[in-house]
Structure 1
Amino acid sequence: MGPGVKEHETETGGRKNVRLISYFFLLNISSLLAPISGFAMKSCKISYNIAICKKMKLTAVPRDIPSAVKGFDLSSNKISRVHVSDFENLPGLTQLDLNRNSISLIDDGAFANLISLNKLNLNNNKLSELGADLFHGLSNLTELRVSKNKIKAIKDDAFRSLHSLKILSLSNNKLSSVPCATRNLSNLLELDLSSNNITKLGCDDFANQTKLKHLDLYQNRIAALPECVFKDLVRLQVLKLQSNGLSNLNGAFKSPLPYLKQLLLNTNKLTAIKHGEFSGLWSLQNLSLHENQISQLYIGSFVGLTNLTHLLLQRNLIEETNVSKGVFNDLINLRSLELRDNHIKYRNSTSLLQAPFSQLSRLEMLAMPTQHGKGGSLLPRNLLQGLTNLLDFNIRDIHLFSLHKDMFNYTPQLTNLDISSNELQDLSPDWFSQIPNLKSLYISRTSLTSLDYLTDANLTKLEFVQARKNEYSVISEDIINSLPSLVFADFQGNGFTCDCDNAWFIQWIQNNNQTQVFDAYNFKCNYPVNLKGMKLLDLDIRLCSVDTGFIMFISTTCSILVFMLASFIYHFLRWHLAYAYYFFLAMLFDTKHKNKKPPNQYDAFVSYNANDEPWIMRELLPKLEGEQGWKLCLHHRDFMPGKPIVENIVDAIYGSRKTICVISRRYLESEWCSREMQVASFRLFDEQKDVLILVFLEEIPTGELSPYYRMKKLLNKMTYLSWPRAAGHTELFWEKLRQALRTGQDRVDEHFPLNVVDSQR
């Protein structure tokens, strides 16, 4: 019986095992075909095969969780201990989240049945030690996070069973050294030991980590690096060592780290970068050295970094002598260089002997340092030489008060320019003509009073303008129209004038659909004083608007009236106006003559028509000059060449004691003769004495004199001589003319206005 019973029991046990395995298989299949949902539990819920018990104020792991769940979220509860039986019925669990509890104790073997678990999160708990059997059974675990606990010690074999682990986070604990347990994790890809109390590193700390790609060691207390510390990290791509207090690299990066692409060494105490310090990092692309105490850079400091694209050096003690000696020449693929907050300060705009960035032809972003100390700065005119592909230039807050006119000759591709927080008094359109591709312009806090320079800058591609806290009072239509591509404008903090000068700007803000004017509804008035503090957009601009139709009506009406008036004057008053003009001209020359010329240069000026010149030369001239000895002024003989005719006439009349008008029909028709008589008539009126002698060469009936009312008026007031009537008595004619030339006491009572005829003599 005994053996038979035993055989039966063994068979029964075998069948049970087969049935159990079949049950789990069918359960898993059913869970794949129909995810668990709607399962009745007291404190949790099931969603897509995940048991969610988050923020339920649980103090222990619930026992009513279906065994088929794949995920279990117990985060943000009050669980203080994990028991060995808490997860024994969840063999299919792949993700377990115990983040943000109060766990200080985990029983050995508590995770032993979780053979399918991939991710375990124990962050933000109170664990102080990781024991040898804590993670027993987690052979498929790939991600383990135990950050923000109180871990001081880790048993050497705590991870012996985690052969598949690829991500391990132990940050924000109290480790004083790199745990030896990590050396057993040969498949590890990411290791986070940041924010611990690690004071030094050893040559074997990362032994066997040949697959490690990401290593975080920042915010520890590491003062120096051993030369051999990274010797096994042949596939490392990212290394973070910032905020440690490092003062010496000891050649740790001279040994090859052929795949390293990102190295963070910022916020340490490095004072110098020695020659070849990074010569083993030929794949490095990003190097952060900002917030150190670096004062010395040497030629060769960056040798080997031919693939470096981003270099951060801001907030150090670098001086201009370090920058200007070719220390960056090895960085032939550099795209971004940050130098702000150093001690680089140029005092003049003359050319440097060696342009500091001349070999960085691929550089796209350059930020120059904030200046310290008193006094303004000037950038050397060739500072940007070689930067033919520069896109972004930042010279914010460098106490700059001027820029050389050729500063941007080397950067034709520039699209972003930041010159904010400087002491610039004016900007030249010439600068912008060198950078026609500019898209973003930052000009805040520059004390500029106007944006008028933009109207001539030809910035047709400019899309973004930030011009905060300046002294702009008016934004004109010309300024906005000169920026056809503008899509964003920031004018915060300017003191606008609230009057009609800004009416167009206000209307544009409210109606334009292309440009966003940032915070425009909070723009405030600064002028006039009675409106100070009022919002700009509250200004009523209706009184500033102009009725275009009304203006056109007024303009058209005025134009018609002016045309009609001009036509009337031309047809009816042109001679009066011409006369008034010459009357004034005669007065002007009279004053000039009295002040500058001696009187009586000639005895008489002879006014005659050119057609009557034979009589003048044959009869008048021989008798008066030859026999009687008078000195006569003749236009063809005595007028000064090159002098205006009117001026010659006036000078001749006022420079002679008398004027003899030799009148004929041709004389009356001559416009220049008429002008001569008008000037002589004015003198007659002005001096109130007999200065005019009329001699008629022809008998002209009174009817023919009617059109020449001035001549007719003169004949009614004074006697005249007639050459035709003197026939046979010529001696009497010449005697009377001689007597007329001698006398000068006769007065006249009439005012004879000037007459102007526009024709040739």
Structure 2
Amino acid sequence: MKVTNSHQFKQPTCTMAERRSSITNNFLSAFILTITFWTNIQSSMEHGLTTDYSGRYLVAIPNNIPAHRTVLDLSHNNISELQISDFRSLSKLQTLLLSYNLIRVLNLSVFQYNKDLQHLDVSHNNLQTLSCYPISSLRHLDLSYNNYAAMLLCTKFGKMLNLEYLGLSIRRMQKSDFSVLAHLQLDTLFLGLEDLSEYSSGNLPVFNAKSLQIALPQNTDLHVLLDLELSATKRLQLSKIQEKHINDLRTFLSNLNKHSTLRNLTLNNMQCNWDGFIDILQSVWESTTEYFVISNVPPLEVPNTMHFNQTATSIKALAIKQIPFTTFLSAPTNMYEMFANMNIAALTISDAGLIHMLCPSKFSNFTYLCFSNNSLTDTVFKKCNNLTLLETLILQSNQFKDLTEVSLMTTLMNSLKYLDMSKNLLWYNGNKCEWGENVVKLNLSSNVLSESVFRCLPVNIQMLDLQDNQISSVPMEIIELNYLEELNLASNKLTALPGCGHFRGLKLLNIENNSVLSQSSEFFQSCQNINILKGGHNPFMCSCELRRFINLEKQGSIELIGWPDFYVCEYPHHLKGTLLRDFHVSELVCNVKLLITVVLIITVVFLLAVSFVCIYFDIPWYLKTMWHWSQAKHRIWKSKPEDMLDSIQFHAFISYSEHDSDWVKNVLIPNLEKEDTSIRICQHERNFIAGKSIVENIIDCIEKSYKSIFVLSPNFVQSDWCHYELYFAHHKLFSGNADSLILILLEPIPSYVIPSRYHKLKALMAKRTYLEWPKEKSKHGLFWANLRAAIQIELPLSDEINEL
């Protein structure tokens, strides 16, 4: 498992492993420019600087291309002509792809305003004319597979000193055609000679490009290889090799002397039989070549006997790719022995149909082995003790099944550091696992492993890839992986973030494409050292539990790869499609303790406020009074509904304190009730009906009285019953919309003496005129006259008056 510069896990292949290995580092050096080019394109795409118009059936360059674009892909269209105006506004353009169009004439001056242009591909067009214009910034120019007969190069090409890659296709070849190349320090020169029709011996010059790629002519009578001389070339790639080319190729290889600079040789798309294959392999074996790749050969029938001389060789790495070895008519044992006993450092045999591989019969120098995309099984390298120098073993895409057997295979490989068992059928049966003590990188992706795999891992593992398996959780009982730094659990069945209790040194975790809904407290408690997390493409449940995970990016403690685009809410339904970055929920809603605390505080404050209001305004007393009043009204209506008539029987009801009863009985009542009985007074002592409650009697008397007289004094405000009577009389004042209250101030009442519950009395005394009992006798007559006038009214006679 390897992390790229963008911190993304990649599936290691034989090619990638070769790039990591110091021994095979030169295998892909011929493709450095191509890799760099596509890397730049990918980087530009990630930053939104690429415009792709490929395959649109365009006949002209679009005129609406944004000016800041750096990569423009116009390949696979029907464009036939280029104008300066097409590219004049694209001052930032670096890469232009025009392959597979119908361009006939190319004048490089159309790019005179594109000062940053580095990569130009006009291959597979109908070019017949090329007008030279030196583009000093150009590094990659591909003119191959066009319709020109003679070489289109001109002297001005020699001024493009930054040119590193040049692709050409030639029909007629003369040595003078390449004179301009002598001034260029090319890294790679590609010559497409498939359609070469005219060639004379000696017309092939000596190329000084570091890497030379030649597609050999299909006319086998043209012996180009016999004239091929290499002086500065270190890497040679020959493709489209027909069977009749084999002799020329063998001659070319035999002519390579010990002073040759050639170190990397690649033969691609070669037509031959087994004997031709062995002859070429033997020739390269005996040459000065150090890195040899042979690929894309039709199936080869392996004979029962073979002759291959395992002499000392300069080869350090051999790669045999996409060459199926068939054994329908033979036993492949000799072939296995030949490959197993090669005294070289690195061997790759991929896509060859191998069903087995033998252990070397003696101590081997192999440090790198790759047998990917074959049919190898668990029986490979059992008890193999001659691979003690092996550091990298890639067995990707085979038929391995038992993880225990795989672990036992590594026990005698004392130097093994990296093992790739991806894309097999591996599962763990629970048996004891024994791994090589130096295995630190292990790729078990794309198998059928469950969470039990954590009980069968190398104890010193540092990088572990378990992508695309059947893992639903990380068990609590697993071996301690104290050195594990990178863990890939992408594309499994995880439903929550895993804990790191058994690998607390973990720094990089990939859980992308799982079923993770929420976080787990164990993750935050045990995964303190993680600084890179790739967790996108999961169906997140956007709830309170996810807030801590969302805060990881804000706090900067963990770098979330793909944030925010790949982190989207899936549940609940109304939040589906919402970016986690845009999901917000209050701390109060999520923190139960805080919520309870706030509710308790609000409740306490509310109760205190209610208590204060109740105490200040004597609300309990009013509630009690309303209860008594409603109960009394209900009983009166229920027992004597006829008493609810509107008839008035008394001129006035007198409310007073018992402490003022002497003045009321001896002064007030006698002066109001004369012998003519013109005024009838309702007094509780003589008019309350026995058997009724006091409240019922008060209500009954107030409703049967035209006026209610209140004798006010400090004693009055101290009486609860006086308060009741005042409350009910005030209620009648509003319900009846009548001026039925008469206030007599018997003695002055200081405001501080009046209790808070008598706020209605305060309001009445402030707003209404009251009669004040004069101390001077001379004013008594006027007092009685005013009082009698206030209550004087004609009342109907009643038979019950005397009884009351």
Matched length: 472
Aligned to 1:447: 493
When residues 118 and 164 of structure 1 are mapped into structure 2, their CA distance, relative to the original with a 3 A threshold, is: farther
Kept in 2, the 8 Å contact 1:128–1:153? The answer is: yes
1:185, 1:325 → 2: CA distance?
48
How far does residue 293 in structure 1 lie from its aligned partner after superposition? 0.7
Kept in 2, the 8 Å contact 1:157–1:181? The answer is: no
Kept in 1, the 8 Å contact 2:372–2:394? The answer is: yes
Kept in 1, the 8 Å contact 2:216–2:239? The answer is: yes
How far does residue 284 in structure 1 lie from its aligned partner after superposition? 3.1
When residues 318 and 115 of structure 1 are mapped into structure 2, their CA distance, relative to the original with a 3 A threshold, is: closer
2:472, 2:505 → 1: CA distance?
25
1:141, 1:492 → 2: CA distance?
48
The residue identity in structure 2 corresponding to 1:237 is E
| 1:530-609 matches, cutoff 5 A | 531=575, 534-536=578-580, 537-542=582-587, 543-545=589-591, 551=597
Aligned to 2:410: 357
Kept in 2, the 8 Å contact 1:449–1:472? The answer is: yes
Indicate the SS of the match to 2:240. coil
Q: Provide the TM-score with structure 2 as the length reference.
A: 0.49
Whether 2:482 is the aligned partner of 1:436: answer yes
Indicate the SS of the match to 1:506. helix
Whether 2:343 is the aligned partner of 1:282: answer yes
Aligned match of 1:469 in 513, 521, 525?
Answer: 513
| 1:64-143 matches, cutoff 5 A | 80=128, 99=143, 102=146, 104-106=148-150, 124-131=167-174
Q: What's the CA shift string for 1:652-677, capped at 9, x where partnerless?
A: xxxxxxxxxxxxxxxxxxxxxxxxxx
1:392, 1:507 → 2: CA distance?
32
Indicate the SS of the match to 2:464. strand
2:165, 2:198 → 1: CA distance?
15
1:391, 1:307 → 2: CA distance?
19
When residues 482 and 120 of structure 1 are mapped into structure 2, their CA distance, relative to the original with a 3 A threshold, is: closer
2:561, 2:233 → 1: CA distance?
49
Aligned to 1:342: 398
How far does residue 501 in structure 1 lie from its aligned partner after superposition? 2.8
1:96, 1:366 → 2: CA distance?
37
The residue identity in structure 1 corresponding to 2:288 is R
Aligned to 1:390: 439
Whether 2:474 is the aligned partner of 1:427: answer yes
Kept in 2, the 8 Å contact 1:477–1:504? The answer is: no
Aligned match of 1:201 in 227, 246, 262?
Answer: 246
Kept in 1, the 8 Å contact 2:535–2:560? The answer is: no
User: Structure 1 residues 149-158 or 228-237, which shifts more?
Assistant: 149-158
Indicate the SS of the match to 2:289. coil
Kept in 1, the 8 Å contact 2:531–2:557? The answer is: no
How far does residue 59 in structure 1 lie from its aligned partner after superposition? 5.5
How far does residue 534 in structure 1 lie from its aligned partner after superposition? 4.7
When residues 150 and 120 of structure 1 are mapped into structure 2, their CA distance, relative to the original with a 3 A threshold, is: farther
1:509, 1:332 → 2: CA distance?
45
Aligned match of 1:215 in 250, 258, 265?
Answer: 265
When residues 432 and 208 of structure 1 are mapped into structure 2, their CA distance, relative to the original with a 3 A threshold, is: same
Q: What's the CA shift string for 1:646-705, capped at 9, x where partnerless?
A: xxxxxxxxxxxxxxxxxxxxxxxxxxxxxxxxxxxxxxxxxxxxxxxxxxxxxxxxxxxx
2:263, 2:396 → 1: CA distance?
31
1:422, 1:447 → 2: CA distance?
8
Indicate the SS of the match to 1:260. coil
1:397, 1:371 → 2: CA distance?
7
Aligned match of 2:215 in 171, 183, 188?
Answer: 171
| 1:235-384 matches, cutoff 5 A | 235-245=288-298, 247=300, 254-256=309-311, 258-270=313-325, 274-278=335-339, 282-285=343-346, 287-300=347-360, 305-309=364-368, 311-324=369-382, 326=384, 329-346=385-402, 355-371=408-424, 377-378=427-428, 381=431, 384=434
Indicate the SS of the match to 1:217. strand
1:62, 1:405 → 2: CA distance?
61
1:246, 1:490 → 2: CA distance?
43
Kept in 2, the 8 Å contact 1:82–1:103? The answer is: no
Aligned match of 1:493 in 537, 551, 557?
Answer: 537
2:181, 2:486 → 1: CA distance?
55
How far does residue 295 in structure 1 lie from its aligned partner after superposition? 0.8
Indicate the SS of the match to 2:379. helix
How far does residue 61 in structure 1 lie from its aligned partner after superposition? 9.6
The residue identity in structure 1 corresponding to 2:357 is L
The residue identity in structure 2 corresponding to 1:298 is L
Kept in 2, the 8 Å contact 1:259–1:284? The answer is: no
Kept in 2, the 8 Å contact 1:171–1:196? The answer is: yes
Whether 2:464 is the aligned partner of 1:403: answer no
Aligned to 2:283: 231
How far does residue 182 in structure 1 lie from its aligned partner after superposition? 3.7
How far does residue 422 in structure 1 lie from its aligned partner after superposition? 1.9
Kept in 2, the 8 Å contact 1:292–1:315? The answer is: yes
Indicate the SS of the match to 2:495. coil
Q: What's the CA shift string for 1:447-499, capped at 9, x where partnerless?
A: 233445x25x2433211111123333321344123111111222223333333
2:157, 2:565 → 1: CA distance?
61
Indicate the SS of the match to 1:288. strand
Kept in 1, the 8 Å contact 2:292–2:319? The answer is: yes
Indicate the SS of the match to 2:442. strand
Indicate the SS of the match to 2:268. coil
2:294, 2:555 → 1: CA distance?
54
Q: Provide the TM-score with structure 1 as the length reference.
A: 0.51
When residues 138 and 105 of structure 1 are mapped into structure 2, their CA distance, relative to the original with a 3 A threshold, is: same
The residue identity in structure 1 corresponding to 2:296 is S
When residues 312 and 156 of structure 1 are mapped into structure 2, their CA distance, relative to the original with a 3 A threshold, is: farther
Aligned to 1:417: 464
The residue identity in structure 2 corresponding to 1:306 is N
The residue identity in structure 1 corresponding to 2:395 is L
Gaps of 5+ in 1: 1-42, 44-53, 64-72, 559-761
Q: What's the CA shift string for 1:135-160, capped at 9, x where partnerless?
A: 68999998683523543467462356
2:389, 2:586 → 1: CA distance?
56
How far does residue 415 in structure 1 lie from its aligned partner after superposition? 1.2
Kept in 2, the 8 Å contact 1:334–1:360? The answer is: yes
Q: What's the CA shift string for 1:534-570, capped at 9, x where partnerless?
A: 5445242332246869959989xx9xxxxxxxxxxxx
Kept in 2, the 8 Å contact 1:150–1:173? The answer is: yes
| 1:653-672 matches, cutoff 5 A | none
Kept in 2, the 8 Å contact 1:394–1:419? The answer is: yes
Kept in 1, the 8 Å contact 2:164–2:185? The answer is: no
When residues 183 and 541 of structure 1 are mapped into structure 2, their CA distance, relative to the original with a 3 A threshold, is: same
Indicate the SS of the match to 1:195. strand
Kept in 2, the 8 Å contact 1:279–1:304? The answer is: no
When residues 117 and 163 of structure 1 are mapped into structure 2, their CA distance, relative to the original with a 3 A threshold, is: farther
When residues 391 and 499 of structure 1 are mapped into structure 2, their CA distance, relative to the original with a 3 A threshold, is: same
> Percent of aligned positions with the same letter in both sequences?
14
How far does residue 319 in structure 1 lie from its aligned partner after superposition? 1.6
When residues 131 and 530 of structure 1 are mapped into structure 2, their CA distance, relative to the original with a 3 A threshold, is: closer
Kept in 2, the 8 Å contact 1:425–1:446? The answer is: yes
Kept in 2, the 8 Å contact 1:138–1:161? The answer is: no
Over the aligned positions, Cα root-mean-square deviation in angstroms equals 5.1
Kept in 2, the 8 Å contact 1:80–1:101? The answer is: no
When residues 275 and 158 of structure 1 are mapped into structure 2, their CA distance, relative to the original with a 3 A threshold, is: same
Q: What's the CA shift string for 1:219-248, capped at 9, x where partnerless?
A: 333443454434365210221212222526
Gaps of 5+ in 2: 1-83, 85-95, 110-118, 327-331, 605-804
